[in-house]
Structure 1
């Protein structure tokens, strides 16, 4: 591998935004250290591989469904993959390239982990093999330059221009997951919380996700419109998610998304994770670790005291990128 010229890097996922953004975040931070040409591949597997991959093996063109990107030679210098359906394609590339491609997996693959050159896992993931790199949380695309770039792509409501404010609060709403139910009651709790913040004089920026659900999303939009202190992004135009992070003084996150909390805690802003019903041991470990290192504070939606001062700003994507740079340097030696 010649590290004096731009290296070819493939990001391979099944196209889920959160997973892909983790990989892109690492790829972009690696590009800060050495030149890389980033190509994003989104794989769609046909049956039975869709259900049984990677356990039944295989990685050739025959496993891909219509509409899928299909990895083919010439093979890249670096692969960053994440998600169960990306494991077989990534390891197929490693085999076909005769090990020339450095293959990095983000998150515990739970299968054949030792075959990867590097497995980068957040603290709450279980894998601790010889090729493991443990970060605090999940890597992401948040960095100073990204926030500066995105801040100018969203214009706050005109009413905020001359209005006295306690500050700006970004509220990041996730939704239904295996660990957390997102019910109509959950939506009502969040609506009350946002209105209370507005009543206290905060400017509140609210964004929801596809997991919020259509009915809950519509309820949020209806209840949070018509208040000059509140901006609810209704899904039209450029997504202001990163702009919200850039402009917020405080960031409140529902507890169901490790990615959202990791992104928020990478900004240097005051971050609060809501104490809502649900969860499991893995999320409990994650939330407690974020609290222990001073990256976030847990609060109840009915007891909002926004007084947190972060003791740590996360930069997990850069941590992983530096390890990849070391692997490449060792391979070139």
Structure 2
């Protein structure tokens, strides 16, 4: 069993980039992708922080295999995901990637070091190293528990987006507020009251002299999209509704303040990787783990819950990705042993 480092403030990195020398030269990484944007943001963000361009293999399991994952065997149709040449490190996120991750471990004769991001339904034996954020409540010798999940937001990417902002964002006068909107999940759906609240936030900020730039996710219900389109139709408002390139990064980089719905751990984590004040609108439905996550972030001074008033308070960026990369690299080096 690989024991991972457990610094007192693990997962509370201040937005710095990981060194490109974390791993030995020529180390290979394979990312197993289930196609979900949130999972890819985590896996690719960790690979990026490790300084290695990953080999990305997509999982497209048939319905019966996907429904039974992670307990079913890997779908034979996904054989490409665990085929040779075997990588030194394999990273997966999402339960549908676990069967292929375990098959890759077996077929490589145990030589591939496997990493799973988030809490696996089949327990700590799912991978050599598990990166389960603190709010998941998973503990173990092979578990690293950062404050936030990994992401692809780096100081360098933010600086580049500020230096050359999307033209639609640059056209908005300051102060600019980014409204990052998620949507329905298995924990709850955005009802009429939630939709009205978000539309009111957008409209009231516009009326008070702020530019408001909003973006929707794949999960955003059409009624909420329509309400935001109407609320931001006036000058100084912008709502990205899937037309043209997604200016999400440009919004984060050029926002004087950010308001984000709390239904997505990833979206909140990406918002606090900036230096802007971040407000979270609590999501609808069951919120056990989400509430634990938001409470931890509020206690760390990374967010405030939205109460109707906007204040431009100061805070440092919070991004656990460099910590996660260091934990992966250190655990892998122990696993691989001394090199000649």
Residue of structure 2 in register with 1:208 after alignment? 216
Higher normalized contact order (CA 8 Å, seq sep 6+, divided by chain length): 2
CA 1:209/1:98 → structure 2, altered by over 3 Å: closer, same or farther? same
Give 1:282's match in structure 2, choosing from 260, 272, 289.
Answer: 289
Q: What is the distance in 2 between the residues matched to 1:157 and 1:139? A: 26
- Unpaired segments of 5 or more residues in structure 2? 1-22
* Structure 1 counterpart SS, 2:29: strand
Residue of structure 1 in register with 2:135 after alignment? 124
Q: What is the distance in 2 between the residues matched to 1:107 and 1:180? A: 20
Q: CA offset at residue 37 of structure 1?
A: 3.2
**Structure-to-structure mapping, 1:1-333, within 5 angstroms:** 4-31=24-51, 36-56=52-72, 58-59=73-74, 62-64=76-78, 70-151=81-162, 152-156=164-168, 160=172, 165=174, 167-225=175-233, 227-300=234-307, 303-310=308-315, 312-330=316-334, 331-333=336-338
Q: CA offset at residue 220 of structure 1?
A: 2.0
CA 1:158/1:139 → structure 2, altered by over 3 Å: closer, same or farther? closer
Q: CA offset at residue 277 of structure 1?
A: 4.2
Q: How many residues align?
A: 314
* Structure 2 counterpart SS, 1:44: coil
CA 1:159/1:52 → structure 2, altered by over 3 Å: closer, same or farther? closer
Q: CA offset at residue 234 of structure 1?
A: 2.4
Q: CA offset at residue 284 of structure 1?
A: 1.0
CA 1:180/1:54 → structure 2, altered by over 3 Å: closer, same or farther? closer
Q: CA offset at residue 12 of structure 1?
A: 0.9
8 Å CA contact 1:271, 1:308 repeated in 2: no
Q: What is the distance in 2 between the residues matched to 1:272 and 1:305? A: 8
Q: What is the distance in 2 between the residues matched to 1:9 and 1:158? A: 37
Aligned CA RMSD, in angstroms, stands at 2.0
Q: What is the distance in 2 between the residues matched to 1:75 and 1:328? A: 15
Residue of structure 1 in register with 2:17 after alignment? none
Q: What is the distance in 1 between the residues matched to 2:59 and 2:287? A: 30
TM-score (norm 1): 0.88
CA 1:293/1:216 → structure 2, altered by over 3 Å: closer, same or farther? same
- Unpaired segments of 5 or more residues in structure 1? none
* Structure 2 counterpart SS, 1:111: coil
CA 1:213/1:87 → structure 2, altered by over 3 Å: closer, same or farther? same
